[in-house]
Amino acid sequence: MSINYHQKTFKSVANTDNGEVGSETLFYYQQQGNVVWAEYGGGAIIKGFLVAKVIENDALDMRYEHINSVGELMTGKCLSTPEILPDGTIRLHEKWQWTSGDFSSGESIIEEIIH
């Protein structure tokens, strides 16, 4: 494992229209061994949680759940593939699918922000 996701904060920079994560959504990542988890919220998401395992090439195989601003409980799965940017921060390219609602899929990008 070359990437450590522990105590990293990510912000959404792109998402397909059927996603609920937006530019106000922040993700607070933690890691122990090959297990990664995060709490997230902001924008259309009141509270969310994800759990993932680190797989080949430091990608994340994850499941997520959140409550959106209209009170719906939403769940999904996602494969996040990392890219290291020139400044050393992490960009995650995500391919996701709802496992609730309309079961549609989409793509998003989140980027590490430095405090």
Question: pLDDT tens digits for 24-80?
Answer: 999 999 999 999 999 999 999 999 999 999 999 999 999 999 999 999 999 999 999
Beta strands in the chain (DSSP E): 9-15, 26-32, 35-42, 45-54, 60-68, 73-84, 90-98, 105-113
What pLDDT sits at residue 55?
A: 97
- Contact assessment for residue 8 and residue 38, using Cβ atoms and an 8 Å cutoff: no
In the chain, where the domains are located = 9-113
Average pLDDT over residues 79-84: 98
What percentage of the chain exceeds 90 in pLDDT? 97
Average pLDDT over residues 80-95: 97
Q: Please name the fold of domain 9-113.
A: Lipocalin (2.40.128)
pLDDT band at 1 (very low <50, low <70, confident <90, very high): low
* CB neighbour class for 66 (10 Å; exposed up to 12, middle 13-18, buried from 19): buried
**Type of residue at 104:** S
Q: Which residues of 96-112 are buried (b: 16+ CB within 10 A; e: fewer)?
A: bebeeeeeeebebbbbb
